Amino acid sequence: GDSVTQMEGPVTLSEEAFLTINCTYTATGYPSLFWYVQYPGEGLQLLLKATKADDKGSNKGFEATYRKETTSFHLEKGSVQVSDSAVYFCALGNTGFQKLVFGTGTRLLVSP
């Protein structure tokens, strides 16, 4: 079945450092890929998405490129802020009912 694998956390960075959170997937067909972010005490929020190979999703300085050849959707940001501290989930959508398969989440901690 479809699955998503994320890098283990926590990822600890200093403010203004470069961020990469790795995500790879296994799926049949042509799934859509998503990154969600969860701030403390809140629900998950959509951060960005890509619906076909080579698409780049971007939002709030974050970006991720749908790489079909490497089945990856890595999240990147050039300069993180303390306010980016949160848990990030990679997810895959591949059915008509919009059921998503989520990764286990990666916690990001940014220090001043």
Partner 1 sequence: DAGVIQSPRHEVTEMGQEVTLRCKPISGHNSLFWYRQTMMRGLELLIYFNNNVPIDDSGMPEDRFSAKMPNASFSTLKIQPSEPRDSAVYFCASSPGQGPSNQPQHFGDGTRLSIL
Question: Interface with partner 1 by CB under 8 A: which residues?
Answer: 31-32, 34, 36, 41-46, 49, 51, 89, 93-100, 102, 104-105
Residues in the chain: 112
Distance CA 102, CA 91 (A): 4
CB of 84 to partner 1, least distance (A): 19
CB of 88 to partner 1, least distance (A): 12
Closest CB to partner 1 among residues 14, 52: 52
Closest CB to partner 1 among residues 51, 83: 51
Closest CB to partner 1 among residues 60, 99: 99
Residue in 40, 39, 36 with CA at minimum distance from that of residue 6: 36
CB of 86 to partner 1, least distance (A): 14
CB of 82 to partner 1, least distance (A): 22
CA distances for 8 relative to 15, 54, 57, 68, 102, angstroms: 20, 25, 22, 22, 14
Is 71:100 a contact under the CB 8 Å cutoff?
A: no
Closest CB to partner 1 among residues 20, 45: 45
Distance CA 59, CA 70 (A): 23
